[in-house]
Each structure stands twice: as C-alpha cells, then as structure tokens.
Amino acid sequence: MKSMLQRTINNIDRVVFGSKENYSFEHRFLNVASFLAASMALLGSASNLIAGLSSKLTIYTFAASLVFISTYLLFISKKWYLFSKSLFFSAIFLLLDILWYENGGVSGAILIVYLSFLVLSLLVWSGKQLIIIILLFSGNFLGLMYIEYNVPDLVIMYPSIEVRFYDIILTTFLFIITTSVIVLKTKNYYEKEKQRAILSDQLKTSFLANISHEIRTPMNSIIGFSQLLDDATDNERTEYIDNINKQGDILLKLINDIIDVAQIESDDIELEYSIIDINKLIIDLKKSFEQRIDQIGKEGLKILIDIPDSSEIIIETDVKRLSQILYNLISNAIKYTDEGAIKLGYKKDIDNIEIYVRDTGIGIPEKLQADIFHKFRKLNHNTDQKLYRGTGLGLFISNQLVKKLKGSIRVESKPNVGSTFYIKLPLNY
Ligand code: ADP
C-alpha cells in the first residue's frame, strides 16, 4: 500500500517536475521553482479577487502567474534555457518591486521575500551571471531603499496593523518552509553525489586491479606458449598455436570492450541499420556457442532454442551490435552455469521483439539485479568459493547498446535457479 502511494507520488513528481535523469539538479530545481511560483501567483490572484483586495494587485499577480506558467513550460521543454531563466528572474524582480510598492515598503514583508530571492539566485546562477544578478539585486534593493527614505509617502501602507501583522507572519512562515526545503534538498543531493563519487572511485580502483589481471593472464599465456614453439613437436605446435589464438581472442575482446566503453562515454557509437533474419542469427549463435561449450568441456550444459520455424522473422537493426549484446549475454550464461540448459528464444508483437537468454545457473539475488548493469560492477558470488573472471563491463555495454538501439534490457533471476535476460527492440528503427 505504502509502496503504491510512494510510486504514485514518484510518478506525479516525474511528470510535473521532470525525471532526475533528464535534468541537472539546477534545471530540475527551476522546474519546481517555476511551477510553485506559477501556482502561488495563481492562488494569490484568486485569493486577492475573493477577498476583494486591490484589483491592481490581482492583475499584477495574475500577469506574473502567466509569465511563470510560460517559464515553467519552457524549462520543462528544455528550450531556450538561459532565456527562460532570465525571464523567470526578471518576472520575480518586477514582482518584488511591485510588492514593495503595494505592501508598505520596508515596513512590510519585502525584506524576507528579498532574502528568499537571494537564496534562490545563489543556488541557480554561477560565475559571471551570478555576479550580474547580485549587482542587479543590490542596485535594485539600494534604489528602493533610497526612494523610500526620500519619498516615504510613495509606498502604499497596509490598511491596518492587523493586515501587516498577518502578512509578515505568513511570509516569514513561508520563507522558513521554502528555505528549509531548499537547504535540506541541496544537502541531500550533494550527500548522495558524494557517496556516488566515493563508490565510483572504489569501483575504478578495483576495475584497474582487475583489468591488469585480465590482461596479464592471456598475455603470459601468449608469451609462454610462443617461447615453447621453437622446441615443440608438430602436435604440440598445433596445440600451442591454438592456445595462443584463444588467448589472443580474449585479449582482443577485452580491448574492444574498453574501446566500446570509451565510445559510449563520449556518445560516439555509430549504428548501421539493416534488415536481418532473427531466426538465422539465433541459430548461428547456437552453433558457435555449442563449439565453445565443447572446447571448455562443460559437458552437462546444452543450448536450446525456442523459435517459430514457420516463417522468416525479419527486424531492422544493427546486426553487429545486436550480435555483440547476445554474445555478452550468452557468454555470461555459460560462465555462470555449470549444468542444465541455456535457452535462446523470442516473442514478438506488432511493434517489438523481445529476445531472451535463459540459464539454469547460479542466479543473481534480487537486490543486486539493478546493480549489474552499471559500469565495473562485478558481483561476489560466494558459490563453492569459485572465482569468476571478468571486468564488469559486459552488461554495462549491453545495456547502453540496447538503449542506443531504442530498446530496453531487464533481468529476472533467482539464486541457484537461474537467470533470464530479456532485450526488447523495436521491429523497425
Ligand atoms: P563480468 O565481466 O563480470 O561478467 P558483466 O557486466 O557481464 O561483467 O556482468 C556483471 C555481473 O553480473 C557479473 O559479475 C555477474 O556477477 C552478474 N551476472 C551477469 N550475468 C549473469 C548470469 N547469467 N548469471 C549470474 N550472474 C550473472
């Protein structure tokens, strides 16, 4: 029940303020701020109207709400960011000056409102732009003070002491709430970022230790077998060359993975779309992995396929990248399964195809399932103290490539029962 409520709140939060993945902290903050400003201005103008207060104030707040709604829509659409930000701040500036004028100058709540405006500016502007805002802010503030000092009658006073009292109390209350929320959210955000940076640092260190091992092992084999070649008999030579080739392939795969990560990070992956027969791809993968299983001697493991043999199923995708993803998934399935079967198959609807790779291996605990798609993430499977080699790059690369192909990847798994990885892709890109 609680999680459903939480999910509903999260969904509303994502729809109204935008998802955390799509906006920077500062940008998302402006989405929230402009939405709240628009709602408060709308509420303010409605309550002014109902209470029969100054009609001028009602018009001003209503006009401000229109500007805030426009900036909110611009922020959400990510269009003209700097322009929207400047428009948003200019509107607040103008509103502050009107408030000062209409609500009793410094004897009203303007100083508190100015303070919240300063907090907001410090949070969302930086560098030269922040200096400009602070200068404008100070100039405007000093200007208002100067005018009020010299022409005190210019500002419109509260109709009564009670109204002034309520206005100041309410504004102070709102100020305390909003600044506390802003400070707590910011603190929370930076705390999380700090934890993330620490974790990423740890992962990088363990990746570096790991990768030097992953490079050294095949390298040592290649060097060792090459040195033995001179004195080897013909039979031995064939065996050594075979080993050198295998270790060379492992090394090449590792180098390709590292290059892929670099390309993914710099958003430099080029796709080449073509029409492919998915049944043929799966049958080819089955054949080549059956050979692999033979070579590594996992006799208790077989590969099954589950594909409709009636017709040719074609999809439009990048065959090289799709093969790479399936290769990673099947390699993992073989690596983490000692006995049983690995099954390859798919389901199709009008727009999408969902290909799956199922194994009967060691499985992945539920709470770690989301982690495995992150970079450098390797799990410690404490089964029989067996050590599984790997760099923790395969699923990260697969996940990123699937996204690039406009699809998605997910896993269902139970420890000691097995895992199924699903990749969903559009039939046409
Ligand atoms: P690695 O090179 O370590 O295999 P991957 O990114 O391919 O890196 O996988 C990340 C982690 O996910 C692995 O270390 C392993 O713990 C887990 N994993 C991936 N596939 C499977 C599977 N089929 N069964 C069990 N665990 C798996």
pLDDT tens for residues 240-274? 999 999 999 999 999 999 999 999 988 889 999 99
How far is the centre of ligand 1, averaged over its atoms, from the C-alpha of 58 (Å)? 62
Three-state DSSP class for 425? strand
Query: Residue 373 CA: which ligand 1 atom is closest?
Result: 6
Mutate to test the pocket of ligand 1, among 324, 336, 383 (most ligand atoms within 8 A of CB): 336
**Which residue CA neighbors atom 14 of ligand 1 most closely?**
378
How far is the centre of ligand 1, averaged over its atoms, from the C-alpha of 413 (Å)? 12
Q: What is the pLDDT, as a whole number, of residue 1?
A: 54
Ligand 1 — pocket residues by CB below 6 A? 328, 332-333, 336, 359, 361-364, 372, 377-379, 381, 390-396, 419
Q: Are 122 and 186 in contact (CB under 8 A)?
A: no
State the CB neighbour count (10 A cutoff) for residue 16. 12
Token pair of 361 as six digits: 């291996």
Cα 225 from Cα 22, distance rounded (Å) = 51
**Where is the domain boundary, 265, 287, 314?**
265
**Which residue CA neighbors atom 2 of ligand 1 most closely?**
390
How far is the centre of ligand 1, averaged over its atoms, from the C-alpha of 130 (Å)? 47
pLDDT at residue 309 is higher than 80: no
Query: Looking at residue 308, which CATH number applies to its domain?
Result: 3.30.565.10
**144/165 same-domain check:** yes
**Which residue CA neighbors atom 13 of ligand 1 most closely?**
378
Mutate to test the pocket of ligand 1, among 342, 364, 382 (most ligand atoms within 8 A of CB): 364
Three-state DSSP class for 343? strand
Query: Residue 362 CA: which ligand 1 atom is closest?
Result: 25
pLDDT tens for residues 375-415? 888 787 665 557 787 888 999 999 999 999 999 999 999 99
The arithmetic mean of pLDDT across residues 166-177, rounded, is 87
Residue 109 phi, psi dihedral angles, 5° rounding: -95, 10
* Distances 408 to 289, 359, 401 between C-alpha atoms, Å: 24, 19, 9
Window from 48-57, 76-85, 200-209, 276-285 with minimum mean pLDDT: 48-57
**Where is the domain boundary, 265, 290, 317?**
265
How far is the centre of ligand 1, averaged over its atoms, from the C-alpha of 379 (Å)? 7
**148/228 same-domain check:** no
Share above pLDDT 70 across residues of the chain, in percent, rounded to a whole number: 97
**Which residue CA neighbors atom 8 of ligand 1 most closely?**
392
**223/296 same-domain check:** no
pLDDT at residue 361 is higher than 80: yes
Mutate to test the pocket of ligand 1, among 359, 393, 395, 409 (most ligand atoms within 8 A of CB): 395
pLDDT tens for residues 364-379? 999 999 999 998 887 8
**89/231 same-domain check:** no
**145/245 same-domain check:** no
Q: What is the pLDDT, as a whole number, of residue 2?
A: 55
Q: What is the pLDDT, as a whole number, of residue 397?
A: 96
**Where is the domain boundary, 196, 211, 245?**
196
* Domain housing 87: 2-196
Q: Are 112 and 121 in contact (CB under 8 A)?
A: no
The pTM for the full model equals 0.68
Q: What is the pLDDT, as a whole number, of residue 319?
A: 95
Mutate to test the pocket of ligand 1, among 250, 303, 372, 393 (most ligand atoms within 8 A of CB): 372
**Which residue CA neighbors atom 20 of ligand 1 most closely?**
332
Comparing C-alpha atoms, which of 72, 62, 60 is closest to residue 35?
A: 72
Which regions of 134-188 does DSSP assign to beta strands (E)? Answer: none
State the CB neighbour count (10 A cutoff) for residue 378. 19
Q: What is the pLDDT, as a whole number, of residue 186?
A: 87
* Total structural domains within the chain: 3
Share above pLDDT 90 across residues of the chain, in percent, rounded to a whole number: 53
**176/299 same-domain check:** no
Query: Looking at residue 232, which CATH number applies to its domain?
Result: 1.10.287.130
**313/355 same-domain check:** yes
Mutate to test the pocket of ligand 1, among 298, 325, 332, 362 (most ligand atoms within 8 A of CB): 332
Q: What is the pLDDT, as a whole number, of residue 19?
A: 82
**311/390 same-domain check:** yes
How far is the centre of ligand 1, averaged over its atoms, from the C-alpha of 263 (Å)? 21
How far is the centre of ligand 1, averaged over its atoms, from the C-alpha of 368 (Å)? 11
**Which residue CA neighbors atom 11 of ligand 1 most closely?**
378
* Distances 365 to 126, 328, 369, 379, 415 between C-alpha atoms, Å: 44, 20, 7, 10, 6
How far is the centre of ligand 1, averaged over its atoms, from the C-alpha of 3 (Å)? 29
**323/351 same-domain check:** yes
Q: Are 110 and 103 in contact (CB under 8 A)?
A: yes
**319/192 same-domain check:** no
**Half-sphere exposure of residue 39, counting CA atoms within 13 Å on the CB side?**
7
Work out the pLDDT band at 20, boundaries 50, 70, 90.
Answer: confident
Q: What is the pLDDT, as a whole number, of residue 114?
A: 87
**22/148 same-domain check:** yes
pLDDT at residue 146 is higher than 80: yes
Cα 355 from Cα 426, distance rounded (Å) = 11
The arithmetic mean of pLDDT across residues 312-327, rounded, is 92
How far is the centre of ligand 1, averaged over its atoms, from the C-alpha of 396 (Å)? 10
Query: Residue 418 CA: which ligand 1 atom is closest?
Result: 24
**255/400 same-domain check:** no
Query: Residue 393 CA: which ligand 1 atom is closest?
Result: 6
pLDDT at residue 195 is higher than 80: yes
pLDDT at residue 39 is higher than 60: yes
